[in-house]
Amino acid sequence: MKVKGQKRQDILKYAGILFKDKGFHNTKMDDIAVAAGVGKGTLYEYFKSKQDIFDEACIEYVELTIETIQDVSNMESTFDEKLLALFNVKVKMESEFENIIIDNVLSWKNIMSEKTVKTIIKKISEIYKLVATIIDQGKEEGVVVKNIPSEIIACSIIGTMSEYLVYNIKNKDNEIKENDLIIDLLYNGFAVK
C-alpha cells in the first residue's frame, strides 16, 4: 500500500468532495473511482478500505483548516484584522466542506475509526490553541480583556461564528465587515453599559 503520490492525493480530494456532498454511506467506492479517474481496484492499492479513505479525508480536511487558520495567525496584522479574517476564512471553509467534521466529531464517532477520532480531537485542540494565540495577541495589544482565559474566548468566537453562518446560510457570499453587529456583539456583549 502506497502512502504517497499524486494519485493518492487525487483519490482523497475527490472522495472528500463526495463524502461532503452525499455522506459516507451514500458515497460508493464506484463513485470515488470514477471521480478520481482510476479503476476501482486501484483504490485498494492506496487505501485499506472505504473507512480508511474516509478517515484520511477527514484528517486531510482538518489539517487544511489548521493550515488556513495558521495562515491567518501568521499574518502581519492587528488582532482586529485577524478576527475578521478568521470569520471570512471560515465562511469559505464552511462552503467547501460544511461542518460535518469539526462540529460533529462526536456524532460521527460511529463512522470514523476510534483512532481517527482521537487524532482529530487532538487536531481540533490545535485549532483552539491557534485561535487562542490570536486572542493572546489581542490581549497584548490591549484590546482584549485579560481576566478571561483565551480558550474560553475562542469558544465564544468559534461558536458565534458557526451559528451566524447557519443563520446567514442563504447569503453565503456575504463578507463580514468590521462594523457588522455580530462583531460588535463579540467585542462588547449585549449588556447595557
Partner DNA sequence: AATGAATGAGTATTCATTCAT
Partner DNA sequence: CATGAATGAATACTCATTCAT
Which residues lie near DNA (CB under 7 A)? 2, 5, 7, 25, 27-30, 33, 38-42, 44-46, 49-51
The reply to whether 25 sits near a second copy by the rule CB under 8 A is: yes
CB of 8 to DNA, least distance (A): 9
Binding partner selected for residue 3 from DNA, a second copy, none, CB under the kind-specific 5 to 8 Å limit: none
Measured CA to CA, the distance from residue 70 to residue 74 in angstroms comes to 6
The reply to whether 95 sits near a second copy by the rule CB under 8 A is: no
The reply to whether 41 sits near a second copy by the rule CB under 8 A is: no
Q: What is the DSSP letter of 146?
A: S
Q: Do residues 82 and 139 lie in contact, with contact meaning Cβ atoms separated by under 8 Å?
A: no
CB of 2 to DNA, least distance (A): 6
CB of 181 to DNA, least distance (A): 45
The reply to whether 190 sits near a second copy by the rule CB under 8 A is: yes
Report the length, in residues, of the chain.
Answer: 193
Q: Do residues 32 and 14 lie in contact, with contact meaning Cβ atoms separated by under 8 Å?
A: yes
Measured CA to CA, the distance from residue 120 to residue 143 in angstroms comes to 32
Nearer to a second copy, 10 or 77 (CB): 77
The x, y and z cell numbers of residue 1, run together, are 500500500
CB of 65 to DNA, least distance (A): 26
The reply to whether 48 sits near a second copy by the rule CB under 8 A is: no
Of 124, 119, 116, 154, which Cα lies nearest the Cα of 136?
154
- Please identify which residue in 6, 107, 171, 179 interacts with a second copy, judged by CB under 8 A: 107
Q: Is 76 helix (H, G, I), strand (E, B) or coil?
A: coil
